Chain A
Amino acid sequence: MRTRRLAALAALVLTALLLQLSVLPVIAGGAFVPDLLLVLVVVLTLEHGARTGLWVAASGGLLLDLASVTVPLGSNMLVLVTVAYLLGLLRPHVAERADLTTAILAGVAGALAVLGQAALAALLSEQVAPGASVVAWSVLVVGAFAVLLAPIVLLVVRRVLVHPDELTAELAR
């Protein structure tokens, strides 16, 4: 049961990463990159708890860092882990299976993550910091895409992973 769950989580993270690298920028017109991994982290944190969310955020963020060239290793990991922790704090106050709330929270998290990435880029890049207008546009586009992607990710996650409550019920039987 445990290994199957781990394998499912790993498959989800890898699929999200590949889609984010090659398919989503095409859909978004090439100028912006919708953050699918972040949406996956948001959905998993709200549905399966902060621990799952944190581990997925750390591994997915690290893979994203490895796939990039100019961003220092660990920066996407830092942003995603922080997002997962904050959502974990919010989780007790969010109703079970409140899909609209999940989508809105995904949008907010997307905007916050872009701001975090921009701040890290400004702090760590040796060259020019990203301009205010491009940051504002990225916040809008990535946030909107996160809201749109959240229901799809919710559907997939519910298909692939057994909900923790059902899992405990199954084990108790």
Chain B
Amino acid sequence: MSQRRVWGLFVALVLTALVLITFDFRDDEAGPTDAGREAAAAGLAPFETGIARVVSPLRRFGDGVVDLFATRSENQRLRAENEELEVRRRAYADLEREVAELRALLGFRDEVELSTVPARVIAVAPSNFEWTLTIDVGEDGGIERGMAVVAAEGLVGRVLTTTSSASRVLLVVDPNFSVAARSVATSALGLLDGGGSEPLRFAPLDPGQIVDTDDEIVTATFPGSAIPSGIPVGRIVAQDERSSRLSAAYDLLPFVDVTRLDHVLVVLAGPADDVPEFEDSDALDVPTSDGDAG
């Protein structure tokens, strides 16, 4: 008797779950399930912030112990790197001045300085096949869906949902993540996709474009995307095995270690404006072959 009641309860719960899955799967944007998610995020955020406050010193201590062993060799490497960078920086200052002068000469629109909001990571994805973060700043801090999230090393991800005091961020490594990107060395434009646990994938729009190993990939602007141009993403490590002459693709290692993030910055920039539609002009100045000007 009791066994049968347990079976009945099990069947009822499984059916509920299946109905929810179907419902959520079919409903694209802003349905009742999203409202439920928002409520859950808003309810959990204060607790998560509290726990993060306690946990992050512990995490830093743990990282510190791990790093202790690598300190000496890292110190040497960093000193060498620092010297090299110092030389490059001097050249860079000169270049920067030159670029500014040339831009002024050509009447280029000034690049707007990016304004950012700092945020603390308060929770990570609840399961092993999803790559997301929760941060402690939301709509009250000016965060909107689609904004880019960055760390000192480069792109972290994009804001997926917001509540008044918390936001969920889709990480750059999630298979659902996708952004327009270009190679710094050749400025080849392409599409960048997250790969989950696999490396990221950069597919140049023109498969004939040669992208070398070690090339740095940065984001590119795209109408409707709020991710600004020029944020470093990662470095090409190899050509993808699946690429052919018609569709080239390259494996990419991100600069940001998404498993060790404590603080991030959200870039407060709206989506890039759509390019206004071109208008046909009646008064086209088409040169005619009549030669009436002569």
Contact = CB atoms under 8 A, between A and B. Distances in A.
Interface stretch (B118-126, B210-218, B282-290): B118-126
B10 A85 contact: yes
Contact of A70 (B20, B21, B176, B260): B176
Contacts of A168: none
A32 B195 CA distance: 16
B51 A18 contact: yes
Interface in A30-84: 30-33, 50-51, 54-55, 57-58, 61-78, 81-82, 84
Interface string A117-140: 110010011111011011000100
B130 interface: yes
Interface residues of A, number: 58
Nearest to A127: B175
6 contacts: A33-B128, A50-B10, A64-B126, A74-B21, A77-B13, A88-B10
Q: Which of A29, A73, A134, A142 has the most chain B CB atoms closer than 10 A to its own CB? A: A73
B2 to A, nearest CB: 8
B17 A51 contact: no
Nearest to A78: B17
B198 to A, nearest CB: 6
A10 interface: no
Interface of A: 17-23, 25-26, 29-33, 50-51, 54-55, 57-58, 61-78, 81-82, 84-85, 88, 114, 117-118, 121, 124-128, 130-131, 133-134, 138, 142
Contacts of A84: 10
Given A50-B6, A54-B13, A133-B197, A74 B128 contact: no
A65 B130 CA distance: 12
Contact of B126 (A20, A58, A88, A121): A20
B259 interface: yes
B78 interface: no
Nearest to A71: B130
B129 interface: yes
Interface of B is mostly: helix
Contacts, number: 164
Chain B CB count within 10 A is highest, among A26, A51, A75, A121, for A26
Contacts of A72: 20-21, 24-25
B51 A22 contact: yes
B7 to A, nearest CB: 8
A16 to B, nearest CB: 11
Residue from B21, B37, B48, B174 having most chain A Cβ neighbours under 10 A? B21
Contacts of B37: 66-67, 69, 73
B157 to A, nearest CB: 11
Interface string B2-41: 0001100110011011111101110000000100110111
Give chain A's interface secondary structure class. helix
B58 A82 contact: no
Interface size band for B: 35 or more
Contacts of B195: 128
B175 A30 contact: no
A76 B126 CA distance: 10
Which 9 A-B residue pairings sit nearest by Cβ, starting from the closest? Answer: A74-B20, A30-B259, A66-B40, A134-B197, A73-B24, A78-B17, A127-B175, A74-B21, A74-B17
A125 B132 CA distance: 15
Interface in B167-186: 168, 170, 174-176
B229 to A, nearest CB: 25
Interface in B124-141: 124-130, 132, 134
B55 interface: yes
Contact of A88 (B6, B170, B175): B6
A77 B44 contact: no
Contacts of B170: 69-70
A18 B126 contact: no
Contacts of A117: 127-129
Given A32-B128, A69-B37, A127-B175, A23 B196 contact: no
